[in-house]
Amino acid sequence: MPFAHDLRADAGRLIRQCRWLLAQNVGLAIFGTNSEANSLSVDEKIDLLDQLIDAGIDSSAMMPGTGLCALPDTVRLTAHAAKLRCGGTLMLPPFYYKGVSDEGLYRSYAEVIERVGDDRLHIYLYHIPPISQVGISIGLIERLIKAYPSTVVGIKDSSGDWSNTKAMLDAGWDDFRVFAGSEDFLLETMRNKGAGCISATANVNPAAIYDLFANWQSPAAQGAQLALVKLRRCVQQFPMIPALKAIVAKFSEDENWLRVRPPLVSLSAADCETLAANLSTLDFDMAGL
């Protein structure tokens, strides 16, 4: 998420970035973890969704993050996304209270679905226990699918644990789409009938990620996978959100992209230089940005 000098969300730069991403054949998981989603208010998110639509961005290509701690906030944002006919919503569990039961999480998701009450709603669960500390179990997924088969249609598994993603893929849920949370697992996900990946570094490396997604059966796929992993490791040497913004700032020649909202802190000039130097060894570029 780009910010202006006064830390207001910068819709103009967001629209330009979204258009570039769509031109690279990837979708838009706006208001995800690396969009600084939890630094934005519900009103800001609704306004930004409306501005994206007004700018001609196809709502079917968007999967906005709508899972928040307060039930009314989640319902309000999710209902708006459904009204706009977004392709889906990526929904965190309520993540402030820890140690909650599957029953509590089921009631939370069910309450959102019932209150939104819109057949256009398609929920992709967001499993990211390294950040949320609230996981989504296989049993909970099965219960939600059984109760709401046309609404709960997929999951992003950002556990970082391939065995967990594999267990979801092996469950054999009809028409339920499993996305890896990192391109590190993209090739294995595709080989196991997964739907692809929803990844932070797709914000800067979308074309290469899409190429492996589209050509995972190619003899060159393993080499392409290794190249994706190298690039991600390069970025992950630094805090992910400031690093991604530093990359966009460099290749767009627009230092406004460096801004983050507190409590996050932008990369130092020295770290920006190190990151840029490391990327140059990989012949990395963001063509057309």
**CATH value at residue 67:** 3.20.20.70
Structure tokens at 102: 């599957």
Give me the phi and psi of 179, to 5 degrees please: -110, 135
pLDDT at 219: 98
**Per-residue confidence at 202, pLDDT binned at 50, 70, 90?**
very high
pLDDT at 261: 97
pLDDT of residue 65: 98
Does any domain span residue 63? yes
In a domain, 9, yes or no: yes
Helices (H), the chain: 11-23, 42-54, 71-83, 102-116, 129-132, 138-147, 162-170, 186-191, 206-214, 221-236, 240-252, 269-280
Residue 78 lies in a domain: yes
Best CA proximity match to 172, nearest among 128, 152, 142, 140: 142
**Percent of the chain scoring above 70 in pLDDT:** 100
**Residue 249: pLDDT band by 50, 70, 90 thresholds?**
very high
Q: What average pLDDT does the segment 1-26 reach?
A: 97
45: in domain? yes
pLDDT 10s digits, 41-67: 999 999 999 999 999 999 999 999 999
Per-residue confidence (pLDDT) for residue 283, from 0 to 100: 95
For residue 34, is it within any domain? yes
CB 123 within 8 A of CB 98: no
Confidence of residue 142 (pLDDT cuts 50, 70, 90): very high
In a domain, residue 39? The reply is yes
More confident residue, 288 or 83: 83
Sign of dihedral through CA atoms 262, 67, 209, 50? negative
Predicted pLDDT of residue 45: 98
Cα(232)–Cα(202) distance, rounded to whole angstroms?
A: 10
Report pLDDT for 228: 98
Residue 271 lies in a domain: no
Q: Which strands form 152-157's sheet, in the order they lie side by side?
A: 89-91, 123-127, 152-157, 177-180, 196-197
Q: Using alpha carbons, select from 32, 236, 216, 59 the residue that is nearest to residue 124.
A: 32
Both tokens assigned to 214: 């589209």
Residue 283 belongs to a domain: no
Listed in sequence order, the residues at least 6 apart from 269 whose beta carbon sits closer than 8 Å to its beta carbon are none
Residue 136 is predicted with a pLDDT of 98
Structural domain total, the chain: 1
- The predicted model gives 91-112 an average pLDDT of 97
- SS3 assignment, position 89: strand
Per-residue pLDDT, 70 = 98
Question: Which domain range does residue 37 map to?
Answer: 1-159
**In which band, very low, low, confident or very high, does the pLDDT at 184 lie, cut at 50, 70 and 90?**
very high
